[in-house]
Chain A
Amino acid sequence: QSALSQPASVSGSPGQSVTVSCTGLSSDFGDNNYVSWYQQHPGKAPKLIIYHVNNRPSGISNRFSGSKSGNTASLTISGLQAEDEADYYCSSYEANRMFGGGTKLTVL
């Protein structure tokens, strides 16, 4: 059982914005900003898309953004595109080496 809770699924239409939440205890996030998000397409390896709450690795679209408030971290995807349909996982340095349970994003 994941220490970090994510909604099982979210959906949105092309061009819209969606937000994926990642909720835990305050101790799961601590006072640091070491929250990461991963995108996984079916049959593929996960890929880092956000690190340190709101930083994007080179090559990741600026349509992806992250934030954190209290015991909840969030991933926002703006200007939804069909290629964004995937599973998304959060993780936190403080959360005892656990990932969130994952959220399936469906682009309608």
Chain B
Amino acid sequence: ELQLVESGGGPVQPGGPLRLSCAASGLTFTTSWMNWVRQAPGKGLEWVASISPDGTDVAYVDSVRGRFTISRDNADNSLFLQMGSLRADDTAVYYCMRDRGYWTFDSWGQGTPVTVSS
């Protein structure tokens, strides 16, 4: 099983940047599609971004495309989400997860909260 631990969340002003990290331990990180999903306060789950095992294939939800960048470092078993031009509606708990295939997320981190506010 893949263990995932997110970090980097916190308060940030509108328009500012923030970089989230997800440290993975386990044997399957380097061969797994990885994802970020977020959950706004009191709301449901929203997929944010995906990245292929080798990092060459990425995808984003429309609302963050051009502002967020997903990346990974397989040598360090780490996943990242570089967030820019942050808006109030980006306020959420951000989770990193592993896709075991066919949109099935079997490993989740504990989440890191991001609050965008002036």
Chain B binds chain A: yes
Query: A interface vs B, CB < 8 Å?
Result: 2, 32, 34, 36, 38, 44-48, 51-52, 57, 89, 91-93, 97-102
Interface string of B60-83 (1 = CB under 8 A from A): 010000000000000000000000
A18 to B72, CA, bound (A): 41
Q: Known A46-B45, A99-B44, A102-B45; judge A93-B109 contact (CB<8 A).
A: no
- Cross-chain pair count, CB within 8 angstroms: 53
User: Which of chain B's residues has its CB closest to A57's CB?
Assistant: B106
User: Which of chain B's residues has its CB closest to A50's CB?
Assistant: B104
- In the complex, chain A residues whose CB is within 8 Å of the CB of B100: 51
Interface of A is mostly: loop
Residue of A2, A38, A98, A102 touching B105 (CB-CB under 8 A): A38
User: Which of chain B's residues has its CB closest to A33's CB?
Assistant: B102
- In the complex, chain A residues whose CB is within 8 Å of the CB of B102: 32, 34, 52, 93
- In the complex, chain A residues whose CB is within 8 Å of the CB of B111: 45
CB distance from A95 to the nearest CB of B (A): 8
